[in-house]
């Protein structure tokens, strides 16, 4: 094995670690407040090595967002596979429950919220739309639900984001109960 192939192997091994570090760092502070140096520190490597793996801050955010959506899809897959009721409604409900469990750790949730806030950056907006498309297609194909039911599933997911990030389920008021009615969030 040549020395060069050993370096490539190390880079290939580091890429998932950098993606996970980027996900955590960008979720904590958002796109604009997070530097490549912050991600490098989180990954315990140099900023120069991060740039060797990923050419720009935008690309680094995209790598984190792609990892986020892979984890979301895997949670939805596990939920669908474990659904005791394999009807379209039962599968969507089980996927929703799996997603609610997943976002107990707010990291993936916050990264998605931050991605929405910078979707006007072309590379990030494209990655966000790609991830949403994959989730929507998976929900439709795996559940067999009609488009209206899938739209409601996605809409409830976005409402969950709002409820969790704004801590609406902690508010004892009619408007808060209206928004959170029928939506469960694991403690």
Let me know if residue 108 belongs to a domain: yes
Let me know if residue 187 belongs to a domain: no
Let me know if residue 186 belongs to a domain: no
Give yes or no for a contact between 125 and 45, defined as CB atoms under 8 angstroms apart: no
The count of domains in the chain is 1
Q: Which residues contact 127 (CB under 8 A, 6 or more apart)?
A: 61, 62, 65, 66, 115
Q: What is the CATH number of the domain that holds 16?
A: 1.10.357.10
What pLDDT, on the 0 to 100 scale, is given for residue 3? Answer: 47
Per-residue pLDDT of the chain (187 residues; tens, 9 = 90+): 444 444 445 767 788 999 999 999 999 999 999 999 999 999 998 999 999 899 999 999 999 999 999 999 999 999 999 999 999 999 999 999 999 888 888 899 999 999 999 999 999 999 999 999 999 999 999 999 999 999 999 998 899 888 888 888 889 999 999 998 877 666 6
Q: Extract long-range pairs of 145-148: CB within 8 Å, 24+ residues apart.
A: 145/88, 145/89, 145/91, 145/92, 146/88
Give yes or no for a contact between 27 and 114, defined as CB atoms under 8 angstroms apart: yes
Let me know if residue 126 belongs to a domain: yes
Give yes or no for a contact between 66 and 127, defined as CB atoms under 8 angstroms apart: yes
Reported as half-sphere exposure (CB side, CA atoms, 13 A), residue 142 has a value of 26
Total count of residues recorded for the chain: 187
Give yes or no for a contact between 52 and 11, defined as CB atoms under 8 angstroms apart: yes
Domain of residue 160, residue span: 3-180
Burial of 56 (0-12, 13-18, 19+ CB in 10 A): exposed
What pLDDT, on the 0 to 100 scale, is given for residue 139? Answer: 97
Task: For residues 143 and 89, give the distance between their C-alpha atoms in angstroms, rounded to a whole number.
Answer: 7
What pLDDT, on the 0 to 100 scale, is given for residue 114? Answer: 96
């Amino acid at each position: 094995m040549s020395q060069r192939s050993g370096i490539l192997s190390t880079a290939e091994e580091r890429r998932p670690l950098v993606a996970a570090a980027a996900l955590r760092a960008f979720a904590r502070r958002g796109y604009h407040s997070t530097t490549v140096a912050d991600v490098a520190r989180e990954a315990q490597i140099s900023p120069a090595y991060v740039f060797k793996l990923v050419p720009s801050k935008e690309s680094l955010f995209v790598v984190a967002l792609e990892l986020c959506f892979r984890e979301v899809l895997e949670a939805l897959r596990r939920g669908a596979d474990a659904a005791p009721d394999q009807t379209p409604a039962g599968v969507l409900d089980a996927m929703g429950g799996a997603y609610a469990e997943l976002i107990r750790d707010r990291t993936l949730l916050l990264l998605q919220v931050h991605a929405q806030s910078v979707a006007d950056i072309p590379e990030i907006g494209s990655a966000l739309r790609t991830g949403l498309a994959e989730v929507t297609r998976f929900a439709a194909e795996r559940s067999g639900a009609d488009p209206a039911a899938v739209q409601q599933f996605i809409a409830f997911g976005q409402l969950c984001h709002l409820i969790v990030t704004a801590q609406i389920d902690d508010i004892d008021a009619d408007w808060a109960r209206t928004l959170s009615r029928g939506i469960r969030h694991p403690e």
